[in-house]
Each structure stands twice: as C-alpha cells, then as structure tokens.
Amino acid sequence: MTSKKIACLMGVATLALAGAGAAWADDQPAAPAAPAGPTALSTPAMSSSLSANANPFSYDTAFGKLYITGQLTALGYTESPSGFGDKSKTGGELSNAQLEFQKTDGVVQFYVQAGLYNFPSLGAGNLRSDRIVQDTFHWVPVAYLKLQPTAEWSILVGKLPTLIGAEYTFTFQNLNIARGLLWNQEPAVSKGVQVNYAKGPLTVSVSLNDGYYSSRYSTISGLVSYVISPKDTVAFAASGNTDENSVSRFATPIAQNNGTIWNLLWTHTDGPWVINPYLQWSTTPKITKFGLPGSASTFGGAILAKYSFNPMFNLAGRFEYETSSGSQVALLYGPKSDAWSLTLTPTFQFKTFFVRGEASYTKIGSGAVGAMFGKFGDKDDQTRLMIETGFLF
C-alpha cells in the first residue's frame, strides 16, 4: 500500500477521533430514521419506508430485559431480459426468515441476528436465499457484544453492519426492495471492533475490521456525521485496506477488498418528505500477483427519496448513476463502463403486516459484451418488477 493511501486512511481515523470530544454515535450508517413507537428498538436499523414493531416481545431475565424481534417476508420478481447469471426471468424466494435477540441496557449488551435472508440488487443475477446465506455471511449474519461503560462511549466486537453507504443490507431495512448500483461496490458486513463516542450533534464511529468479510483484519473504516438542524444531517464515511489481501470469493471481491471507498451523504426530512442524496468514490489498486493488472476507480451519485401520503402508505424512489475508469479491471459492467437506474417502490403497512411493489429500470451506457444482461451478457438494459410482503414482529 502506498504512503499516500495510508496517509488518507489515517486522516479519516484522526478526523473521527478529533471529533470525539463532541460526538454523538450510532452503531450503523447515517440514514433516515424509521417512525417508531415509544418502545421500538433502534436495531436492526431501518429507513423510513417500513416501521419496526412498536411493541416488541420482551422477557425479563436475571441479567436484564431480553428483546426478541424478527421478520418473515417473501418476494417475487420478473425481469426482461434476465440478469447476467440468472437461470430464469421469473422467480420467488423467502426474502427474510430472521430473528433478532438483544439486550439494550447495562454495561454489557449484545445483539444477535439469525436466519434466512436475501438481498437482491439491481443489475446482478438473482440467487436463491439458501445460496446467498451459504456464500455470504451464513446463518448468523450479524452478531456482536456491546460494552457501554458510560453514556458516551461504546465498543462493539463481532460481525458488524458496515459504516459505508446510505443503504442497509437486508430488504426490510430499506426504502426499496432491491439494493442499488452503488451498494454493489460497498461492504455489507465486516468482522472486527468498532468504537463509538456519543455527545451532541456529531456522530463518530471508527472500526478496525476485515473489509469485505475477508477474515484479514487490515481495514480501517470511519463515519462522521453532523446534525445541522432538525431537518438536515450531513455525513462522511470512508473505508480502506492498509495491506494487500489475496482472499477472493463471492462475498469478498478481491479488487474492492484491496481498495478504498468514500461517501458524502446528506439527509433532509420535511413533513412527508425524506430525501437522501449521496456521492460515492472508490479506488482499486494494481496488484499483478493477485490478478489485478491495473488500478481502477468508480464514481457515482444517488438520490433516495420517500413521500408519505399517510401513516400507512408511502412511495419511495431511487435514481443513481455510476461510471468506472481503468482499462483492465471490470468493476461495473466491464472496464470503463457506466450505468444508471431508476426505482419506484410503493409501500403499504398496517401494524406489523406490509406489502410493497417495485418497478426498476437499469440502463448501461457503455459496457463489455459478456458482462451485461441477458443469457450472453450482451443486452444493455433491464426492466424488473418485484413484490414483497410479510410481517415485522
């Protein structure tokens, strides 16, 4: 790793720690807060399209109150043409059959999320939920011990949600059913340790972790956000590997795992509106011995928004554009490719039951044959329809 790259990453960590004297921390990335009842839990984090159960099940134990929540949801889809790697144009899956166990008081706390899940994403092949579980984060995707010695300080150790990006990992957490093009470049879950300091309008989190789930603990991540007003929050997040790492598998793309990724985010809430634009920049290095013959980068932007017609019905949307550079490394749809997408997601929720549909369109401006859509990877656009329904209990 170059001295310039190390300096940039150390700068992120220094900035985060410098702000810690007046910080207010969260365990996960900045995102629109879900409207919730007085006893709703803050984890798992959710955007404002769906609301968590306002009266979760709890059980008093000798060590404190134990909360149990969960999701049972299913989705169906049809698309034309098929995504590259898809075996069919239509299908259906259980998108979530998960339970969360957590203790949220005292010095020693914990969080465990377990079960079946799926995270469909635009422009990528749809896979069975059991295959997703086996090839990514297994049957316990998130689990950590949390030490809360004071109201300001907290330390998390275990399998942690990423600090990067504006979208969460699982379908029920997000404004839209499918993740976006920018999310495809980001880590989702990392193993490691995270330190938070909480005080005032400034949020600071710093983590040492294994990046894209590589089991090599050489990545530094940071998140700093500032609440400008009751309606506006800005945030900066960054992550990068400080060493060379040869791990390459489905959940660990070797180029991204050795690179850096940066986000600048803004969240605005005003009455029925939630608007969340953000920018993303990523870099990947030249490491010939790992099959990376040249450096590359991506740059993209997205706008996520939601309008609530009433407490039970809302419409969410996402527009994004991403471009890649570098003549030898394919980070998007081939070297020097670019694409944009548009997604609309109407959602109806009554208490713990919800149903939502989704229409999305993805257009590749330039791409490489074999890396795009269709059976042979030679189609440059795709329309996808999805529906998801179930219970958040």
Domain holding 349, by residue range, is 3-23+63-392
pLDDT at position 204 is: 97
What is the 8-class DSSP label of residue 15? H
Location of structure tokens 């090839």: 135
- CATH classification of the domain holding 241: 2.40.160.10
In a domain, 33, yes or no: no
CA contacts within 13 A on the Cβ side of 273: 10
238 bridge partner residues: 222, 262
pLDDT at position 14 is: 38
Distance (Å, whole) CA 130 – CA 122:
19
In a domain, 34, yes or no: no
pTM: 0.88
pLDDT at position 354 is: 98
Distance (Å, whole) CA 273 – CA 300:
23
In a domain, 374, yes or no: yes
In a domain, 342, yes or no: yes
In a domain, 366, yes or no: yes
CA distances from 383 to 77, 79, 98, 255 (A): 11, 6, 29, 28
pLDDT at position 10 is: 39
In a domain, 293, yes or no: yes
C-alpha 99: how far from its chain's center? 19
pLDDT at position 9 is: 44
Give the torsion sign (CA, 211, 212, 217, 218). Answer: negative
In a domain, 51, yes or no: no
Spans in the chain with pLDDT lower than 50? 1-38
Distance (Å, whole) CA 276 – CA 303:
6
pLDDT at position 330 is: 80
Domain count, the chain: 1
pLDDT at position 38 is: 43
pLDDT at position 18 is: 36
